[in-house]
Amino acid sequence: MKFLKEWFIWSKSSLSRKPRSAGSRSIGRSVSESSLFPVAMILLLFGLVMVGSASMPIAEKMYGDAFHYLIRQFGFATFGFLVGFAVLQVPLQFWEKMSPALLLVSAILLVLVLVIGVNVNGASRWIAVGPVRLQPSEFTKLAAFLYLSSYLVRHREKVSSDFAAVLRPIALLAGVSVLILVEPDLGAAFVMMAVVLTMMWLGGVRPSQFMLFLLCGVGFLAIAIAIEPFRIARLLSFLGDDPFLVDPKGKNYQITQALIAYGRGGWQGLGLGEGLQKLFYLPEAHTDFILAVIAEELGLFGTLSVVGLFSFLVWKAYRIAICASAVHQPFASYLAYGIGSWIGIQALINLAVNMNLLPTKGLTLPLISYGGSSLLVMMIAIAMLMRIEYEIGPQAQRQRRKNRE
């Protein structure tokens, strides 16, 4: 009820507020002038095309409709546009004020998913809401970054000097990550805590304290692997087996098929829709291993283009964060750093897994892989980045003019 009350207050104030001063940009103009929006759109539309290409064989077999997954992904993308547009209208102060409540709601959902969650392949990560399934861990990541951004603003003086001020948010968010691990979902927990540590470093934590928490994180990761036999087997297989020399239908079957896709694609690829590995050879071709399908059909050039687009998104997010810091908007700065790090780390892990540089782990490629919750939350995050760019725009322009003078 408090959340709804706050939303009503903000909505009412935004409708009744006075127009911005002359020379300031509207939200529409800000979005149209930003390079962030077209790059995100390219990745999103490209993702829809590749989900359609990669999922048609399995969709035809399972549902008798080759466009089943594409239609669902398009539906989530459409809903994501509507939600993203709404988020774009909301001032950052609202998210800063409501971040603790959002984290609490996310934690409750993580507990709820363990009780009533839908079990798929031995993991309870989804809550069924009518015909769709929502993955609370995806929403939790964004809630965690919002909370930590607001915490760093409230305690930025203490973070650089008081160990307890550093310990409190890390301990709280580590506890939340344990709930994600219980599902189990090591990938989501790892990405969340990796971004948390990155934000703490950028927030001014002492190098000695940062190294201590980093070592604790490594130890925490080792324990998470050790308590699950399948994770140990996966790690040992990654470290000790050649995917091309072991049983092609054994432990490394998935990565073997992914590497074959890379090899078949060559420089220019076989052509869109012409890949063979998606024809029941490569499991999860439209989700975790969609990059292998891209490599097979569009070749090295297509793969490097995707890497370049993600690199630009991360650079742009960091650039926005730097500008926000320069105009004394710390919450906006920390949040932009967090979203940029999130996109970069998750995309990098997905790329490394697809190329057998890391053990196989179920993480989607942001904006491209099939997955409604992942796509929806990432579109919300992009909308928040655009909101930050909109709010700091006039101040950043004045700052640049002042520097030139």
| Percent of all residues in the chain with a pLDDT value above 70, rounded to a whole number | 88
- Bridge partners (DSSP) of residue 123 are 120
Angle, helices 36-63/290-326, rounded to nearest 10 degrees: 150
Range 159-182 average pLDDT:
91
pLDDT tens column, 65-100 = 999 999 999 999 999 999 999 999 999 999 999 999
Confidence of residue 126 (pLDDT cuts 50, 70, 90): confident
| Percent of all residues in the chain with a pLDDT value above 90, rounded to a whole number | 57
Residue 362: the pLDDT is 79
CB 263 within 8 A of CB 275: no
> Does the pLDDT of residue 125 top 80, yes or no?
yes
Residue 243: the pLDDT is 62
Lowest-pLDDT choice from 6-20, 228-242, 265-279, 379-393: 6-20
In whole angstroms, how far apart are CA 79 and each of 71, 106, 368, 380? 12, 20, 16, 11
Per domain, the residue ranges of the chain are: 43-83+248-392, 99-227
- Bridge partners (DSSP) of residue 132 are 129
Range 36-53 average pLDDT:
95
Residue 23: the pLDDT is 38
Residue 242: the pLDDT is 62
* Site of tokens 């939600």: 83
Contacts (Cβ under 8 Å, ≥6 apart) of 229: none
Q: Mean pLDDT of all residues in the chain?
A: 86
In whole angstroms, how far apart are CA 174 and each of 245, 252, 313? 39, 31, 27
Q: Give the pair of three-digit tokens for residue 11.
A: 């909505």
CB 183 within 8 A of CB 114: yes
Lowest-pLDDT choice from 139-143, 263-267, 306-310, 375-379: 263-267
Across 83-239, where does the E strand assignment appear?
118-120, 123-129, 132-134
Residue 280: the pLDDT is 81
Confidence of residue 118 (pLDDT cuts 50, 70, 90): confident
**Nearest one of 108, 104, 105, 214 to 170, comparing CA atoms:** 214
- Rounded to whole angstroms, the Cα distance separating 368 from 286 reads 9
Lowest-pLDDT choice from 129-138, 142-151, 338-347, 392-401: 392-401
Confidence of residue 158 (pLDDT cuts 50, 70, 90): confident
Range 310-333 average pLDDT:
94
Residue 213: exposed, middle, or buried by beta-carbon count in 10 A (0-12, 13-18, 19+)? buried
Cα of 44 vs its chain's centroid, Å: 13
CB 159 within 8 A of CB 152: yes
Residue 124: the pLDDT is 79
pLDDT tens column, 328-374 = 899 999 999 999 999 999 999 999 999 888 888 878 999 999 998 99
Lateral strand order in the sheet of 132-134: 118-120, 123-129, 132-134
Q: Which residue has the higher pLDDT, 101 or 399?
A: 101
Residue 241: the pLDDT is 65
